Amino acid sequence: APRRKGKARRGRGKARNEGLLSKQKRSRRMKANDRERNRMHHLNSALDALRSVLPTFPDDAKLTKIETLRFAHNYIWALTQSLRLA
């Protein structure tokens, strides 16, 4: 392998200040947390919209996420069956 002229590079070294690195890690973590929070808000909004179109009794407790998905699946299946028979 050809050798470079000038300063030799030695891994990452201490080119970056540890305080700066810590701030960057914290910033990346905060951004990742923000993305995850937004993702969950959008998911919860979508599930609320789905719950609003499913036939339930008003006195029923709010369905969990998995209950909502299972109910929606079964409801769509039942509607499909009724269309096939019609």
Task: Kindly report, residue by residue over 46-79, the tens digit of the pLDDT.
Answer: 999 999 999 987 777 889 999 999 999 999 999 9
What amino acid occupies position 85? Answer: L
Model confidence, pTM: 0.68
Exposed, middle or buried: residue 48 (CB in 10 Å: 0-12, 13-18, 19+)? Answer: exposed
Q: How many domains does the chain have?
A: 1
In a domain, 3, yes or no: no
Sign of CA dihedral 25, 27, 28, 33: positive
Question: What share of the chain in percent tops pLDDT 70?
Answer: 80
In a domain, 26, yes or no: yes
Residue 17 has a pLDDT of: 82
Question: What share of the chain in percent tops pLDDT 90?
Answer: 65
In a domain, 5, yes or no: no
Domain that holds residue 21: 12-85
Q: Rounded to an integer, what distance in angstroms lies between the CA atom of residue 2 and that of residue 73? A: 63
Nearest residue to 68 (alpha-carbon basis) of 85, 52, 83, 57: 52
